[in-house]
């Protein structure tokens, strides 16, 4: 299992508003990336576009998943092929229990034929193990999907789903926000375990506002998104620097750089140069 997600010059809009403006990023097996950036820069939009949310329209660009055209696939195909997103704002589905949803989802991910399910006993064993690992209240399995969950419960339930679906490439969208430090540690430990269990093959993109979670999930690369593009990338230290300089500092500097870029062309990653005072 060796996966590769390649995002090339991706532009996307919601309704009439262009949000992604030439995003470029590659996430490969075994790599752990962090994607940071101020509110509204388009991180969540990128995640939804990658999963094929029909609410977002791709205007141009390309996304390859293991050399296949990801954008041509239905969301369920993407998920079956190993892409996973832990959503920032998971929706609730009254009437559908977590247990029946997850059993169906795991069966689909594992390639069971249409409408065939893994045995109840096997599912229960699996679910119990994951619930325990992630220190999630087992009662969650009997509840309706995300219905009445607190913010923290929702985030943990997303990670539980991730653990059950064993993705090749996982995107975690602000999983840490709304969790206290202890919960962040539990979630991070869970993700690290998944990473190890995959033989260090899982690729992870951690979308986050704060460097906090990156203390526990160590990224190999850190990227900063601003106004729909990745404007800089660096190693793990970038996250710390970012924390000190703050997004306002970046914004001011970015706007200065952006003014020098002629037209709406692809913005080249400015690397660390980006925050040196001109």
Partner 1 sequence: MSDTQPVVTSALSRAAVERHSAAAGEPVWLLERRLQAWEAFVRLAPPAATDEEWRRTDLSALDLDALQPLLAAGVRKATPPAPLMRLVGDPAAAAGLHLAVDGTPIQSWLAAELVRSGVVFAPLGEAVRTHADLVREYLGSVVRDDENKYRALHGALWSGGTFLYVPDGVEVDLPLVSGTWLDRDGVLLSPHTLIVAGEQSRVTLVELSASREADARTLINHAVELIPKPGARIRYVNLEDWGRNVWELGVVRTLAQRDSTVHTLMVAFGAGLVKTNVESRLVGPGATSEMLGVMFGDGAQHFDYHTLQEHVAPSTTSDLLYKGAFKDRARSIFAGLIRADYGAQKTNAFQLNRNLILSDGARADSMPKLEIMANDLRCTHGASTSRLNEDQIFYLMSRALPRATAVRMMIDGFFAEIFDRIPLDMVRERLSRAIERKMAEA
Ligand X SMILES: Nc1ncnc2c1ncn2[C@@H]1O[C@H](COP(=O)(O)OP(=O)(O)O)[C@@H](O)[C@H]1O
Which parts of this chain interact with ligand X (CB under 6 A)?
14, 17, 19, 37, 39-45
Instruction: Return the residue of 24, 29, 41, 44 that touches Mg ion, per CB under 5 A.
Output: 44
Q: Does 216 bind partner 1 (CB under 8 A)?
A: no
Under the binding rule (CB under 8 A), the answer on residue 57 touching partner 1 is: no
Report, in Å, the least distance between residue 15 CB and ligand X: 6
> Based on CB atoms, which residue is closest to Mg ion, 41 or 233?
41
- Among partner 1, Mg ion, ligand X, none, residue 42 binds (CB under 5-8 Å by kind): ligand X
Instruction: Map residues 143-162 to x or -, x wherever contact with Mg ion holds by CB under 5 A.
Output: --------------------
15 binding partner 1? (CB under 8 A): no
In terms of CB distance, is 79 or 231 closer to partner 1? 79
Q: What is the DSSP-derived secondary structure letter of residue 3?
A: -
Residue 270 DSSP code: -
Which residue pairs from 268-271 have beta carbons closer than 8 angstroms and sit at least 24 positions apart in sequence? 269/24, 269/230, 269/231, 269/232, 269/233, 270/231, 270/232, 271/232, 271/233, 271/234
- CA angle 82/84/90 to nearest 5° reads 155
The least CB distance from residue 173 to Mg ion, in Å, is 6
Determine the size of the site formed for partner 1 (CB under 8 A): 31
Q: Where are the alpha helices (DSSP H) in the chain?
A: 43-51, 75-80, 98-109, 120-133, 151-165, 181-197, 237-260
Kind and range of the H or E element at 268? Answer: none
SS (H, E, C) 99-121: HHHHHHHHHHHCCCCCCCCCCHH
Q: Which is nearer to partner 1, 190 or 234 (CB)?
A: 190
Task: Measure the CA angle with vertex 272, ends 50 and 255; round to 5°.
Answer: 75
Tokens of 20: 């992604």
Site for Mg ion in 86-125 (CB under 5 A): 88
Binding piece for Mg ion, criterion CB under 5 A, among 36-44, 76-84, 140-148, 239-247: 36-44
- If you compute the radius of gyration of the chain from its CA atoms, what whole number of angstroms results? 19
10 sits near partner 1 (criterion: CB under 8 A) = no
Q: Which residues contact 139 (CB under 8 A, 6 or more apart)?
A: none
Closest separation between CB of residue 227 and ligand X, Å?
9
Stretch that binds Mg ion, among 44-52, 68-76, 132-140, 224-232 (CB under 5 A): 44-52
- Under the binding rule (CB under 8 A), the answer on residue 165 touching partner 1 is yes
Asked if 212 touches partner 1 (CB under 8 A), the answer is: no
3-state secondary structure of 226: strand
- Structure tokens of 104? 């169906």
User: Which residues form the interface with partner 1 (CB under 8 A)?
Assistant: 51-55, 74-76, 78-80, 85, 87, 90-91, 93-96, 100-101, 104-105, 108-109, 114-115, 144-145, 161, 165
User: Which residues form the interface with Mg ion (CB under 5 A)?
Assistant: 43-44, 88
């Amino acid at each position: 299992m060796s996966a590769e997600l390649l995002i090339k010059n991706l532009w996307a809009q919601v309704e009439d508003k262009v949000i992604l403006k030439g995003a470029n990023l590659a996430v490969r097996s075994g790599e752990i990336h962090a994607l940071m950036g101020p509110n509204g820069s388009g991180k969540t939009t990128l995640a939804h576009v990658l999963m094929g949310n029909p609410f977002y329209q791709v205007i141009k660009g390309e996304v390859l998943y293991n050399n296949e055209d990801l954008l041509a696939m239905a969301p369920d195909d993407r998920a079956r092929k190993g892409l996973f997103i832990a959503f920032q704002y998971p929706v609730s589905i009254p009437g559908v229990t977590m247990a029946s949803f997850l059993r169906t989802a795991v069966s689909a991910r594992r390639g069971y034929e249409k409408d065939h399910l893994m045995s109840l006993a096997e599912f229960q064993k699996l679910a119990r193990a994951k619930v325990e690992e992630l220190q999630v209240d087992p009662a969650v399995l009997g509840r309706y999907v995300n219905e009445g969950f607190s913010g923290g419960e929702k985030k943990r339930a997303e990670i539980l789903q991730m653990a059950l679906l064993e993705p090749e490439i996982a995107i975690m969208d602000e999983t840490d926000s709304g969790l206290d430090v202890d919960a962040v540690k539990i979630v991070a430990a869970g993700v690290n375990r998944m990473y190890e269990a995959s033989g260090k093959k899982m690729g992870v993109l951690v979308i986050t506002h704060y460097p906090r979670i990156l203390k526990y999930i160590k990224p190999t690369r850190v990227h900063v998104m601003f106004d729909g593009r990745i404007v800089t990338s660096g190693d793990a230290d970038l996250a710390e620097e970012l924390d000190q300089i703050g997004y306002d500092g970046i914004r001011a500097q970015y706007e200065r750089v952006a003014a020098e870029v002629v037209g709406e062309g692809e913005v080249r990653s400015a690397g660390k140069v980006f925050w040196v005072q001109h």
